[in-house]
């Protein structure tokens, strides 16, 4: 089940990454809340798109080869969790924190929670000497 979930999340995040890389202005205008973060910066959107592509690759690697891909999953989940923390901070400084948290739940917080849970509950068991 974890492998299927990782593959599905990786696919969704990979598609988001491609949209950020290939259609950054459309992505910027289409995703709720993005405009509120500041003026459009194509270089920055593509940088973050590249990061999401790496995260998607880590999820895909874990889905295909769990033991070998687990470290990449952890790295990707770490980015997603840190990204979520930034959104929590930004929401706490906003005029309507609850609305911002709710808005970011599906696209920011849920992927981070899912990826982190997959990583925590699928840690490879070490056998023998390190």
| Cα distance between residue 11 and residue 52, in whole Å | 11
Tell me the pLDDT tens digit for each residue of 19-29. Answer: 999 999 999 99
Asked whether residue 74 carries a pLDDT value surpassing 80, the answer given is yes
pLDDT at 58: 99
pLDDT at 125: 87
Q: What is the pTM of this model?
A: 0.93
Give which of 62, 53, 65 is closest to 19, Cα–Cα.
Answer: 53
The mean pLDDT of the chain is 97
């Amino acid at each position: 089940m974890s492998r299927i979930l990782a593959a599905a999340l990786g696919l969704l995040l990979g598609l988001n990454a491609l949209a950020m890389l290939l259609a950054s202005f459309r992505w910027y205008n289409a995703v709720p809340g993005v405009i509120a973060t500041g003026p459009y910066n194509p270089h920055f959107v593509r940088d973050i798109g590249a990061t999401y592509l790496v995260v998607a690759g880590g999820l895909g690697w874990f889905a295909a080869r769990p033991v070998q891909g687990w470290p990449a999953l952890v790295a990707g989940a770490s980015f997603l969790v840190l990204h979520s923390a930034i959104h929590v901070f930004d929401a706490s400084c906003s005029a309507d924190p609850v609305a911002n948290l709710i808005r970011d739940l599906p696209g920011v917080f849920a992927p981070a929670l899912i990826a982190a849970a997959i990583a925590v509950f699928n840690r490879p068991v070490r056998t023998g000497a390190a």
